[in-house]
Amino acid sequence: MFQIHAESSVKMGDQQLISAEHGGTKVLTMETVNPSVVKMEYAVLGPIFTRALELEKELAEGKAMPFKAILKGNIGDCHATGQTPITFVRQVIALCTYPQLLENPMFPEDAKQRAKGILAACSGRSVGSYSASPGIDVFQKDVAAYISQRDGLPCNYSNIFLCTGATEGIRTILKLLMTGKSGSEKAGIMIPVPQYPLYSATLTEYNAYPIPYYLDEENGWSLEVSELDRALTAAKGRCIPRAICVINPGNPTGQVLSKTNIENIIRFAHKERLMILADEVYQHNVYAKGSQFFSFKKVLMEMGPPFSSNQLASFMSTSKGFMGECGFRGGYCEMANFQDDVQKCLLKSISVKLCPPVLGQIVVSILTNPPQDGDPSFVKFQNEKSTIFSILAEKARLITDLFNSIEGISCNEVQGAMYAFPRIYLPDKAIVAARKLNQTPDFFYCSQLLEETGICTVPGSGFGQKEGTYHFRITILPPLEDIRQIMGLFKDFHLRFLDKFK
């Protein structure tokens, strides 16, 4: 070993190493950081959210504000907005993390039996041990059985890999789709606009080419094949199109695709030789009458050859649905029509990350294999689940109606997922004021909304939107009484804003 004293410097060729006390030579600066990471943006936790945290801290320190609390409508975090955890989930987790509780009579017998089975499947009978990279095989089989029951079709558990939330599964598949080339030979991925910014951020990080296709707001955020054709034609010569991403139910738009719409997307993907990435994390969150969730896997297989041979990766998460267990980071991906050698390559890729969190895997196993009729926990589990969904459905209707009752706002029905994405019709003077501050008009609006009311939302520009239109995303998750309060504050602000800039 050797030491460089604080006051010393050593000359090495033309480069001088200067001590930390005198500043030192920094390898990483904003000029040398990976430029793809610099360009990445993730609006959900962007500058407005950062400002919301600052205001929250100032409130806690006693600073006077025109509001009493920060109302976080920016992110789909169920428990952060007051949802009570599902009892059976937490019982099983508690028993697995502290097995001494297996002797405690307060826990139901089915929770104990589930925990014993889980511990038996863990190395060393401990959830603190690593699992296989694609997850514990018992849990893979739970997921496969769930998919088989959902779709009425067989599912091979070897086509399942568990992941750190759906996010990491999506990033894993996108990584495999990259070409490793630049310029016009970059991988091109079709993504919806508006879209969940995970996709645009990841494509920027991977130096891929996003191919945006616009959802039709005037027709309930529907997805038209003519728009897919337009988008793909516009990308010709700029990339190598590899896949189309579809979010169903939609985030941030809340629409639920019809079976016919899904069939048309599958035909398009087959014609253009594109893999389908089906983001189906909100598959349980369907509220509107006449709306129904159809998995891409089910529709693909029912269409038969040649469409049933199309490659598909579909994703699910425990962060949404009725569990809302965001912090456990549980999710899975199903691969359909992947060749064995490609799956081996994927396994190699995920093995570098060792394994997804075992506690997250447990939550996935409960999502896909819940208590059954006759089990001690069945009635309580079903009651908790149905209560959550009935309240979400009520909030979806309420927030849609309230937005549409306000001048200068229009909002498509929240058919599913956890968000509303209303359109705001901004006065010209507001648009001019925003541009003078070098801000997008919707950012300007959402920033003013936060500063005056404490309501934290996400500007529509963070998700993408048609030129000349402005939106914001707000979650429907807060308790009903909070939503009514939020909407009252919002309406007062909005009308003041219109009056100020009319």
CA atoms within 13 A on the CB side of 78: 23
pLDDT score, position 160: 95
d(CA 420, CA 415): 9
d(CA 113, CA 117): 6
Burial class of 320 by CB neighbour count within 10 A (0 to 12, 13 to 18, 19+): buried
- Which whole number is the average pLDDT over 98-117? 95
Q: Which are the contacts of 150, defined by CB distance < 8 A and separation ≥ 6?
A: 295, 298
pLDDT score, position 28: 75
d(CA 410, CA 487): 14
User: DSSP character for 413?
Assistant: -
Q: How far, in whole angstroms, is CA 69 from its chain's centroid?
A: 26
25-34, 179-188, 404-413 — most confident range: 404-413
Q: Supply the mean pLDDT for the chain.
A: 88
Q: Shortest CA distance to 336 belongs to which of 159, 210, 206, 477?
A: 159
Spell out the domains of the chain, with CATH numbers in brackets: 43-82+382-501 (3.90.1150.10), 130-368 (3.40.640.10)
pLDDT score, position 67: 84
Burial class of 50 by CB neighbour count within 10 A (0 to 12, 13 to 18, 19+): exposed
Q: What is the CA radius of gyration of the chain?
A: 25
d(CA 56, CA 285): 30
- 202-247: pLDDT as tens digits: 898 888 999 999 999 988 898 889 999 999 999 999 999 999 999 9
- For residue 152, pLDDT over 90 is answered with yes
Q: Compute the residue count for the chain.
A: 502
DSSP labels, 217-230: GGGTTB--HHHHHH
pLDDT band at 44 (very low <50, low <70, confident <90, very high): low
- 466-486: pLDDT as tens digits: 888 999 999 998 888 888 888
pTM of the model: 0.86
Calculate the dihedral angle through the C-alpha atoms of 97, 101, 105, 107, rounding to the nearest 10 degrees. 0
- 255-293: pLDDT as tens digits: 999 999 999 999 999 999 999 999 999 999 999 888 999
